[in-house]
Each structure stands twice: as C-alpha cells, then as structure tokens.
Amino acid sequence: MYQETYDDEEFVGNIDVVADSYANADEIEDAGDIDDEELLMQAQAGVQSIPEQVRTFLGYLHRNLQSGKVNDLTYNYEMQFPRLSEKYYAKASWPEPQYVAALVNDDGLFLILYRELYYRHIYSRLHPSLEIRFRSFENYCDLFNHILNSDGPTDLELPNQWLWDIVDEFIYQFQSFCTHRSRLNKRSEEEIALLKENSQVWSTYSVLNVLYSLIQKSNITEQLRAQQQGGDAAQVAGEFGGRLLYKMLGYFSIVGLVRVHCMLGDYTLALQTLENVELGNSRALYTRVMACHVSVYYYVGFAYLMMGRYADATQAFVHILTFVSRTKQYHQRQQVDAASKKAEQMYALLAIAVSLSPVRVDENIHAYLREKYADQQHRIQRGGEDALDVISELYLFACPKFITPNPPNYEAEVVEPQAYQLRTFLREARLQLVVPTLRSFLKLYTTMGVDRLSGFLEMEPAELKNQLMVYKQRCRQVKWDGGSDLLSGELVPSTDLDFALEMDMIFIAESRVGRRYADWFIRNANKVQDLVVVLENRQKDTIAGKPKVDAVAA
Amino acid sequence: MSIPSSFVRPTTRPDEIHRLLTDVERYNPSNTVLLEDYLARQCANPDSTSNHDLMANLALLKLYQFNPEMLDHDVIRRILAKALISAIPADFNLCLYLLTDEVCKDASIAKLLALRESLERAQFVKFWRDMYDPEDEEEESVVDGIAGFDNGLRKLILAEITATYQKIPLASVQDMVNLDEEAVLRLAKENGWAVDGPVISLPAKSEVKASVISENVKFEQLTKMLSAANDI
C-alpha cells in the first residue's frame, strides 16, 4: 500500500539531479577525474576521520541492535548519542553514512536507522538543504517499508523513546518541508523546478498513509478498545501488534495523527482520533515517554481552545503543567528541556484561556501565571483592540505550525495558514471579551437601568441590549464529561453572575462559591490514618518489648 | 444538562456515510460526490433538528482541502449556511478552520461571514436588513436552496431572547425576528407567552437569584481514601 504513492526507481534518478545541482562546482569537475583507486582512498580517509570514541560507540550500537538489547540501546541512545553529538558534532553533521557503512559490514537496517539519526541531527543543528530533505524522506520510506512491508514482523527492537522520536521527527520534517516549500520568495528557480517535479515527496497523503498504516498493522485501536472494556489486548493484537515495536509505533502514530490534524486546522478530527486513548489514566501508554505525554495534552488543550471550549482547554493544560513541574527531577535533562519549552507555550495558551473564561486553577500554576502573565491577563480582561493584540501575541508564540496540505501555486501569492487560523480563532475569542467588561459593572448592582449602564460604557442602549444577549450566550460552555469521547460534553454555566432583562431594567444576581468541605475532610481523614498507623506501630513495639524509638532518640 | 451535540451520529445519517466517516475512506477523493449528495439531502430537509450533520460536512471540506481542484464554492456556501442555523454556535467556526483566505474572498461566502458577524453580536435587526438588502445586485440570495432557513434562524434568535429577557416590547421582537405583529402574536400563542398590550412577558427559564454554589463530591472520587481505610 505504501509503494503506491512512492515510486522507488524514478525517485532515485531525481535525487541524483538534486545532488548535482547542489554540489560545489569544483567538486563536480574533480569527480570526473577520480578513478576507483582514489575513491577507495577517499573512503578510507573518511573512515579514518571518524574519532575513535565515535567509532567505538557505533560498534556498540550496531551490536546491541543486532542482539536486541533494549536496555543497552536506551543507554546508547539517550545518554551517549547526545553526549557525542555535543562533543564532536555541535556545529557539523555526523559522519557520512557511506563511511559508517564500512564499520558495520554494510548492514542495511543499521544504516537506515543511522541515517535517521544523521538527518535528524542536521535538522536540529544545521540548515537542511532541499537535497537533504528529499533524502531524509527517502530514508523514512525505506524504514517504514522495512517495518510494514516485510514478509513477517521485523525482529528489530527499539526503546520507546527512540520509537516516539522517529514518529515525532517524521511529522516535524513533514511540517518543516511544507513551510520551506511555501516560502516562495526564498526559493531559487532550480529549487522550484525540483519541487514541481517531485510533488509526491513529503506529500500529505504519503505522510497520512504511513501513520494510518502503522495504526492498522498494529491493531492498536482494537487493542486499546479491548483494554478499556476489561478484555485481553493480546487476543486482538495479531501477529504484528503483539510485538512491542509495532504496538508502540501504532500508538505513537495515533498521537502523531492528532498533531497532523491540528496542523491542518481539523480540531474535531484531532479529538476524535484520541477516542480510545484514555485521557487522565495515569497508567496509559502515553505516560511511558514524557515528550509523548506532553504532546497529547498540548494538542488536546489547543484543539479545545480553538473550538472555544476554554474550560476544557484550561483543564488539559493545568493537568500536564502540574505533571511537568512535579516530575522534572525524574527525567533526563534533554527531555526536560524539550518539555519545558512546550510548557512555556502552554502557559501562554493557558493565560488566554483563563482570561477569556476565568476559573480557579491549581495554586502553583496560578502563582506562575501571575508572575509571568499578570500584565497580559489584565490587558485581555480590559477588552478592546489592545486585548486582541495581546491574545494574538501570546497565540503566535504558542501555537503549533500550521501547514497547507498541497504544494503552493508557484505562480500566485503565498497563503499564510498561520494568520488565517489566528483570525478565525479571534472571531470567537473577541465575543468572549464582552463578558469581563460587562461583569465588572453588573457586579456592583442588583438592579440597574439599561440607559445608566450604557452611559457608563459610552454605548448606544440598543447596542448594549445586544451585548447583554451575547453575554448570556457566552456564559454557557460545553465541558467534557470525562467519557472516552473527548468531543462530547455537557452545557455548564461558566460565570458566577446572572441577570435578566425586564424591558429596560436589568435584574442582577450573583452566586457565590460556598465553603469547600471535601478537601478539609480528606486531609483530616489522612491525618487520622497516619496517626492510627503510628499508634499501632508503637503498640506492636511495646508488645515485642522493644524500647521506644522516640525515647532512645530523646 | 444534556445538549444537542454536533458530534453524535444523527439518526438521519445513512450507514454508508457513517462507515466512510470512521474509516480512511474519508480521504478518498472519489467519495466527494457521496458527501455532496448527502449535503443536498440535508439542505432539502426543512426540519432543523434532524437535518444537519456537521461531521459529514467537515469531512467534505477536508476533501476539498486536500484536493483543491475539486473545490466547489457553492457547496461550501451551503455548508456554511447550514452551520449558520445550527443550534450549536461553535459549528460555524469549525467549518471556517478548514477553509483558506482564498475561499473566503468568494462574494457569497464573504457575505455569509458578514451575516454571521451580525448574528454573533446579536445585531439581529442589522442581520435581517443585510440579508434582504434591496440594493444587493446579486439575483440569488446567499441562502438559496436551504430549506427552512428563515424559520431555523428565528428559532435561534427566539432562544436568545427568551434566555435574556423576561419582559420585552412586542415591537422589538418583531424587529429581531423580522415578522409582522400578527405573526409574532401567533408565535406568542404557540409558545404560551403572555401578551399585555405592547409588552410580551416570557416565562423565566430559570429564576435569576443569588445562590451559593456548593461542591458536589461523588462517591467514586473517594474510593482511594476508602480503600486505604480498609487496610487499617
């Protein structure tokens, strides 16, 4: 199914053209004169140029991959690889795959995985050229072909973090390509010609094809459903899905799809995709990789925000931000850095959500928001054009990168999905701004004439009556009811201030939040329990004739 | 409180369409015709509670997003017009997210966006004025081919009015729903509103009075604590 969208041989031909047009002119001349012997020498020199430490590392990595030692691979991948990248390749690419081939007896599968790391490193530290982008796509095709289209399941085993990174990077490079492609004014004519010729490279259909194929091959949807209903996931896993590699790749592809749907502005489909991924379950599979955990909640929160479900967005962001801040010390520095970056963005989105629809949030999160965004929140609540500017600023800092799924019309002007999505979001958000403004006045009275309020607001009475209707509508919100379907929910009031209009009179009522007893009772119940445990232990000690610990200490 | 949801399968959705929506078939461009036909059926049905299938229409917009050469502005116009009279206000924006600036420049679609803006801001009088603008040169209305559009819209507007007002001048209601006195009086009779000369009294949906919100702790939320207590 995968080859359909990807014609191998023809593609390789095109790649050569790319390589030529990119190579330095001098080198092309030289290449004509080089004979076989010189090539061999060049290769040897290439191998020689690899530092000893890196060569040893590649040897280990190769052996561990062959013998399937996942724990050792985790160490290779999460500790050694970043360390060596920092030490030797901070501003350069890793050794050319062709030189590495000599070290690993041309092991094809190893080289595919190595190339994945090699290109990923270039993307993260250098500027990938169009040629690199094409080649990296070709390499992903090789990798997924191996996994999806071999006769039986592959014996390959990789750590979860690595598998997540593969899926995540695949989508990142797709997004990066789409953005690169759409910046027409920066592309040369040769590049545009190449892009036109290779429209199937990084095409949206091919990317979706990979993700859906991984999901189908692993039967992950069936597995999750079985698990949710208390059944045995292994029974429905099938030949492929029974292997951890397929299961996790399938699972990560679901999360990846959510990201792709959000990048395309399809928020309903994004949330629908997560139907069987139990949000809020602390043992769900997404918790096995921190970046995946963060990603799930970032996109869920973002999708809710775009749908105008501010309370749900707030809940999603608060949940994951609390998790990130509490578990920082248990994760690798690298993962924490990435998570912290996303967390910063989520705080910005949270600032938008709670300003538009104020609710009480966790105290630590609230304190951080106050410290960082107090000014912005205040300006949003004051309303007007300034509020929209602040929202736009926060939004652009924190939103995902949107893409257009098709190649641009190379002759026409560029379309900007980023700006379009923001404008559409503001259509909705701007209405919400009516709430804080009106509320601040209504709060002060129990009855009030429309003409009086319109005087305060310097607004025509007729328009004020309209705004009061908008207020009424904006004070009800759909909120997720905790079921497996993230789209469903119930309508709940989102404000503490209600009113009714009788002709030109406004009757206002404010509801107050009563004292919260549950928390107090739970805390004290826990205290009593602790006390009982301590007393029981003392009693046991006394019976056993042991001296009291406290007494000795004293 | 249960609400109408755009995401639950409507009873009027055929199996064929449902399968398509829950499968990778939703990406198959050859299904565009199926979804377009389904939309035509939605448009022909004047019953506003059973004639809107947002998920199917979003799937159609997605096919256009992926295959711009198939894009049909008139279909998009009808999808947006249907979303405009949907009982769920968020539907309209969800459709918009799948479009582009380019599409929004189309005259009919641009007009629908402007109409939506008046609706969102509860400027109903302006809405009707723009909707049936005698100076509009376009022969056809932007809501052509949508059965029961005006009445669907009136229902929405009336819901807004009853949520906000307890007493309102008869004349205001006339302007807001674009009907003459006689028709509004008929509406009042149907809905059981009390009409006292020039004033309509609406039954209060929920009485507006100061209240105390108390927390609601469910038994399930305490299972952790209770099972711990069991260990003692």
When mean pLDDT is compared across A273-287, A396-410, A510-524, B85-99, the lowest value belongs to A510-524
Residue A107 pLDDT: 87
The answer, yes or no, to whether residue B171 has pLDDT greater than 70, is yes
pLDDT at A376 over 80: yes
Q: Are residues B95 and B19 in the same domain?
A: yes
The CA distance from A457 to A441, in Å, is 9
List phi, psi (to 5°) of A498: -120, 160
Distance of CA A361 to the CA centre of its chain: 22
Q: Is the pLDDT of residue A22 over 60?
A: no
B7 vs A508: CB contact, 8 Å cut-off?
no
The answer to whether the CB of A461 falls within 8 A of the CB of A451 is: yes
The confidence score (pLDDT) of residue A397 equals: 95
Beta carbons within 10 angstroms of residue A52's beta carbon: 7
Between A236 and B214, whose confidence is greater?
A: A236
Helix (H, G, I), strand (E, B) or coil at A508: strand
Residues of A in contact with B94 (CB under 8 A): 267-268, 307
Can you tell me the distance from the alpha carbon of B56 to that of B21, in angstroms, rounded to the nearest whole number? 7
**A398 vs A482 pLDDT, higher one:** A398
Average pLDDT over residues A344-358: 92
Which chain B residues have a beta carbon less than 8 Å from that of A438?
A: none
Look at residue A1 in the predicted model and tell me its pLDDT.
40
Q: Do residues B176 and B157 touch, judged by C-beta distance below 8 A?
A: yes
Cα atoms in the Cβ-side hemisphere of radius 13 Å centred on A311? 17
Task: Check residue A298 and give its pLDDT.
Answer: 96
Question: Exposed, middle or buried: residue A80 (CB in 10 Å: 0-12, 13-18, 19+)?
Answer: middle
Same domain, B91 and B192: no
Per-residue pLDDT band for B137 (boundaries 50, 70, 90) equals low
Claim to verify: residue B141 and residue B169 sit in the same structural domain = no
Is B47 inside any structural domain? yes
With an 8 Å Cβ cutoff, are B212 and A512 in contact?
Answer: yes
- Structural contact between residues A112 and A143, judged by C-beta atoms closer than 8 angstroms: yes
CATH number, position B64? 1.25.40.250
Confidence of residue A271 (pLDDT cuts 50, 70, 90): very high
Contact B225 A470 (CB under 8 A): no
d(CA A136, CA A122): 10
Q: Which of A421, A472, A487 is facing B163, going by the closest CB pair?
A: A472
- Statement to judge: residues B75 and B174 lie in one domain: no
Nearest chain A CA: its distance from B41 CA (Å): 23
What number is the average pLDDT over the span A383-410?
Answer: 89
| Interval A485-511: pLDDT, tens | 888 887 777 777 888 888 889 988 887
Question: Per the CB < 8 Å rule, is A415 touching B122?
Answer: no
Q: Which residues of A touch B204 (CB under 8 A)?
A: 500
Any chain A CB within 8 A of the CB of B199? Answer: yes
One domain, residues B141 and B173 = no
B175 and B132 co-located in one domain: no
Q: Give residue A420's pLDDT.
A: 92
Please report the pLDDT score of residue B138 as a whole number. Answer: 62
pLDDT of residue A416: 82
Q: Residue A47 — left, alpha, or beta (φ > 0 → left; ψ -120 to 50 → alpha)?
A: alpha
Burial class (CB in 10 A: 0-12, 13-18, 19+), A45: exposed
Confidence of residue A40 (pLDDT cuts 50, 70, 90): confident
A532-542 mean pLDDT: 88
pLDDT for the residue A17 = 36
Of residues A53 and A519, more confidence is placed in A53
Query: Does residue A380 have a pLDDT over 80?
Result: yes
Q: Please compute the mean of the pLDDT values over residues B84-94 and round it to a whole number.
A: 88
Whether residue B121 lies inside any domain: the answer is: yes
B113 shares a domain with B48: yes
Partner-chain residue, chosen from B62, B97, B199, that has the shortest CB–CB distance to A306: B97
| Set of chain B residues whose Cβ sits within 8 Å of the Cβ of A516 | 215
**Which residues of chain B from 37 to 76 reach within 8 Å of chain A, CB to CB?**
54-55, 58, 62, 65-66, 68
Is B202 found in the same domain as B94?
A: no
Task: State whether residue B121 sits within 8 Å of chain A by CB.
Answer: yes
Instruction: State residue B203's pLDDT score.
Output: 80
Q: What is the distance between the alpha carbons of residues B12 and B47, in angstroms, rounded to a whole number?
A: 11
φ, ψ (nearest 5 deg) of residue B194: -85, 125
Parallel, antiparallel, or unpaired for β A512-513 and B212-213? parallel
The pLDDT tens digits of the residues spanning A201-253 come to: 999 999 999 999 999 999 998 888 888 888 788 888 888 888 889 999 999 99
Q: Which of residues A136 and A331 earns the better pLDDT score? A: A136
- CA B171 to chain A, closest CA, distance in angstroms equals 12
Considering only residues A359 and B210, tell me which one the structure prediction assigns the higher pLDDT.
A359
Q: Is B193 on the interface with A (CB under 8 A)?
A: no
The pLDDT of residue B1? 36
Most confident of A106-110, B22-26, B124-128: B124-128
* CB proximity B228 to A under 8 Å: yes
Provide ipTM, 2 decimals.
0.88
Number of domains within chain B: 2
pLDDT recorded at residue A392: 95
Mean pLDDT in chain A? Answer: 84
- Band of the pLDDT at B135, cuts 50, 70, 90? low
**Are B131 and B115 within 8 A, CB to CB?**
yes
Domain extent, residue B75, equals: 15-147
Within 8 A of B65 by CB-CB distance, chain A residues are 264, 405
Question: Region A70-85: what's the mean pLDDT?
Answer: 88
Residues of chain B neighbouring A532 (CB-CB closer than 8 A) = 232
Quick check: is B112 in a domain? yes
Residues B174 and B138 in one domain: no
> What's the pLDDT at A34?
54
- Return the closest-CA partner of residue A323 out of A348, A299, A297: A297
pLDDT band at B33 (very low <50, low <70, confident <90, very high): very high
- Please, what's the largest Cα pairwise distance for chain B? 82
Averaged pLDDT, A368-385: 90
Using a CB-CB cut-off of 8 Å, the residues of chain A touching B24 are: 212
Residue A28: HSE in the Cβ half-sphere, 13 Å Cα cutoff: 10
Domain co-membership, B32 together with B137: yes
Mean pLDDT over residues A521-541, rounded? Answer: 86
Same domain, B103 and B182: no
* Reduced DSSP (H G I as helix, E B as strand, rest coil) percent helix, strand, coil of chain A, to 5: 70, 5, 25
Residues 6+ apart with CB under 8 A from A208: A257, A260, B27
Report CB contact under 8 Å: A488, B8: yes
CA distance B155 to B87: 9
Between A413 and A80, residue with greater pLDDT: A80
Judging contacts by C-beta atoms under 8 Å, the chain A residues touching residue B168 are 501, 503
Residues 6+ apart with CB under 8 A from A186: none
Contact B178, B128 (CB under 8 A): yes
Average pLDDT value for residue range A173-194? 86
Distance from CA of A56 to the nearest CA of B (A): 45
Task: Evaluate if residue A343 carries a pLDDT over 80.
Answer: yes
Sequence-ordered alpha helix ranges (H) in A183-289: 189-197, 204-217, 220-228, 233-241, 244-263, 267-273
Instruction: Report H helices in A50-107.
Output: 52-67, 70-75, 81-88, 97-103
**Residue in A with minimal Cα distance to B212:** A512
pTM of the entire predicted model? 0.85
**Residues A159 and A77: beta-carbon distance below 8 Å:** yes
What confidence score (pLDDT) does residue A288 get? 86
Q: Are residues B172 and B117 in the same domain?
A: no
Please indicate, yes or no, if residue B44 is contained in any of the structural domains: yes
Instruction: Kindly indicate the confidence band of residue B79, based on its pLDDT and cuts at 50, 70 and 90.
Output: very high
Q: For A103, phi and psi rounded to 5 degrees? A: -80, -20
From A466's Cα to the closest Cα of chain B, the distance in A is 5
CB within 8 Å of A296: residues ≥ 6 apart: A255, A258, A274, A277, A279, A286
Q: Once rounded to an integer, what is the mean pLDDT over residues B157-176?
A: 90
> What confidence score (pLDDT) does residue A548 get?
53
Q: Which one of B65, B209, B213 has the shortest CB-CB distance to A405?
A: B65
A514 with B214: Cβ contact below 8 A: yes
The reply to whether B226 touches chain A by the CB within 8 Å rule is no
Chain A residues whose CB is inside 8 A of the B101 CB are 415-416, 419-420
Residues of B with CB below 8 A from A511's CB? 210-213
For chain A, how far is it from start to end, CA to CA, in angstroms?
76
Query: Is a pLDDT exceeding 50 seen at residue A314?
Result: yes
Is position B213 within any domain?
no
B208–A contact, CB cutoff 8 A? yes
Q: Would the CB atoms of A268 and B101 count as touching at under 8 Å? A: no
Give the percent of chain A with pLDDT over 90. Answer: 36
List all residues 6 or more positions away from B66 whose beta carbon is below 8 Å from its beta carbon. Answer: A204, A205, A405, A406, B27, B29
Mean pLDDT of chain B: 85
Nearest residue, CB atoms, B215 vs list A496, A516, A533: A516
